[in-house]
Structure 1
Amino acid sequence: MAGFLFICTSGEALQGQDIRTERVSFRKGTSSATIEGSITGRETVDYLLNVRSGQNMNVSMTSGNSGVYFNIMEPGEEYVAIYNASIDGNQFEGTTAKSGDYRIRVYLMKGAQNGRADYRLEMIVSGSGQSATSGDAMVSGTDYNATGMIPCSMGNGQPTGNCKYGVIRQGNGSGMVTITKSDGRTRTIYFENGKATGYDESQADRASFRASKEYDLYIVHIGDERYEIPEAVINGG
């Protein structure tokens, strides 16, 4: 298993391009996702993949256009890549050094920007990794730092009930809260630096998202769904 090496991103992938950002989430019980997409001209797509420190990550891309590549940036980084497929090929395998959102940036090289590229991007993450919060124990038999119940409502006149949750804490008010709804489906809500920032949105599920905080309680609305998440769920304690 190769480790990460720091390399600079190609300037062709950074300057003057329209960057579209999409969140990647795995279906329950799986450890991979495959995206079939396309880009044209100077368009760029950033795929955000939340990974824990110490996990194994494999990213590969195939395309009929030899001018389409991807770069990988670590959490919090937008311009310095740890992997540049235009140099090392469209197949990456390594062990993550940090927890958080890895940015997989798909782009066309300058000489290919007068056309279109259809591509297939596959992302695989394996291994349990490590807790990003020093001393934050794991719940036995799970990948979560804590589990429990939170108030929730599925809307449409339904009363507030309780939903099971599991949280992966990444420190500094960041992490992921995965909630099991009454019908057995799950909903993952993402937190960054003490703010609820989004959810596991997909092409078939693009409900509006809004979040607020009342004292030590996050109130999160996703379409008609409503969740009340205590601050301690994210921060511990």
Structure 2
Amino acid sequence: MNWRLIGACTLAFASVQFSPALGQTDIQSQRVQFARGASSATVKGTIKGYAIRDYVVGARAGQTMTVKLTTPNTANYFNVTPAGSDTAIFVGSTSGNSFRGTLPVSGDYTIRVYLMRSAARRNETANYALAIGVTGRPAAVAPKPSVDAVVPGTQFHAVTSIPCKAAPGQPTRQCKAGVIRSPGGEATVRITLPGGSERNIYFNNGNASSSDARTPKFSVTRDGDTSIVTVGAGERYEIPDMLVTGG
């Protein structure tokens, strides 16, 4: 397999960034902090026309974030953007008003509430409630956002396909994989499994150290310049060093 990764020309993992209305935009930002001992909070607000509300939530790689928007206005949506990126990992206008996902990096995530352009032009109003939760234990290695260039249309610094196996007894297949590299030699490799589920593998100084799986079973062997990562009872991933480090 050719592991020369050409970031700017790679179409795998490409996603369309749907922007909210950006006319004469009024953007207000608010940090959301959970009460002591709590893992969630609900904020309420109103937007009108081109107004946008950004809610900033601090979280760590490996944790699970949930967001649910309740609104009577069918043109009212939200996006979720990770720390250090301008590309949303969730776009409400195409995916609905409920998000749940494992976080790829540590830092501040922005949840942007907006009206679609057609509704903004009509100067519509939306009263909404936004329920935000962050649960689970963070990864052993929690990557911070990087300033490296990303593949256009994605949050990844490189993308490729790797040999993978989702369960014992299944054949080895090719899975899409993207990497988010961070300062200090940390990285997150996100793998899309057959069926659409995802697995995050975390690296420290080029070495696989943990995953976002709930099982503690995690092992790594080396085959030349490739890490053979086994998770749980039989997940298996062959991750090349070049994907992780870019070197």
TM-score, length-normalised on structure 1? 0.51
Instruction: Report the equivalent of 1:77.
Output: 85
- Mapped to 2, the partners of 1:62 and 1:129 lie a distance apart of 28
- Mapped to 1, the partners of 2:26 and 2:14 lie a distance apart of 24
Report if the CA contact (8 A) 2:61-2:143 is conserved. Answer: no
Q: Please give the secondary structure, in 2, of the residue aligned with 1:38.
A: strand
- Note the alpha carbon deviations across 1:193-227, whole angstroms, 9 max, x for none: xxxxxxxxxxxxxxxxxxxxxxxxxxxxxxxxxxx
Match status 1:129 vs 2:149: no
CA-atom RMSD, angstroms?
2.2
Aligned-pair distance for 1:7?
3.2
Counterpart residue identity of residue 36, structure 1: K
Instruction: Report the equivalent of 1:143.
Output: none
Report if the CA contact (8 A) 2:106-2:143 is conserved. Answer: no
Aligned-pair distance for 1:14?
4.5
- Mapped to 2, the partners of 1:6 and 1:70 lie a distance apart of 20
Instruction: Report the equivalent of 1:64.
Output: 72
Counterpart residue identity of residue 131, structure 2: E
Instruction: Report the equivalent of 1:94.
Output: 101
Q: Please give the secondary structure, in 2, of the residue aligned with 1:12.
A: coil
Aligned-pair distance for 1:171?
7.6
Aligned-pair distance for 1:8?
3.5
- Aligned pairs for 1:12-23 (under 5 A) are 12-14=20-22, 16-23=24-31
Return the match for 2:46 from 15, 38, 41: 38
Q: Please give the secondary structure, in 1, of the residue aligned with 2:20.
A: helix
Instruction: Report the equivalent of 2:60.
Output: 52
Identity %: 41
Return the match for 1:115 from 113, 124, 136: 124
Return the match for 1:27 from 35, 50, 53: 35
Residue 22 to residue 10, structure 1, CA distance change in 2 (3 Å): same
- Mapped to 2, the partners of 1:30 and 1:65 lie a distance apart of 29
Counterpart residue identity of residue 48, structure 2: T
Aligned-pair distance for 1:76?
1.5
Which structure 1 residue ranges, 5 or more long, are not aligned? 135-169, 173-237
Report if the CA contact (8 A) 1:61-1:119 is conserved. Answer: yes
Aligned-pair distance for 1:119?
0.2
Report if the CA contact (8 A) 1:7-1:81 is conserved. Answer: no
Which structure 2 residue ranges, 5 or more long, are not aligned? 1-12, 145-181, 185-247
Q: Please give the secondary structure, in 2, of the residue aligned with 1:61.
A: strand
Q: Please give the secondary structure, in 2, of the residue aligned with 1:94.
A: strand
Return the match for 1:7 from 4, 12, 15: 15
Counterpart residue identity of residue 115, structure 1: E
- Mapped to 1, the partners of 2:183 and 2:35 lie a distance apart of 24
Instruction: Report the equivalent of 1:166.
Output: none
- Note the alpha carbon deviations across 1:79-109, whole angstroms, 9 max, x for none: x111101101000011000000011000001
Residue 6 to residue 74, structure 1, CA distance change in 2 (3 Å): farther
- Note the alpha carbon deviations across 1:11-50, whole angstroms, 9 max, x for none: 3345642211110100000000100111001000111110
- Mapped to 2, the partners of 1:18 and 1:8 lie a distance apart of 24
If each structure's strand is expressed as a fraction of its own residues, which one has the higher value? 1
Aligned-pair distance for 1:132?
2.5
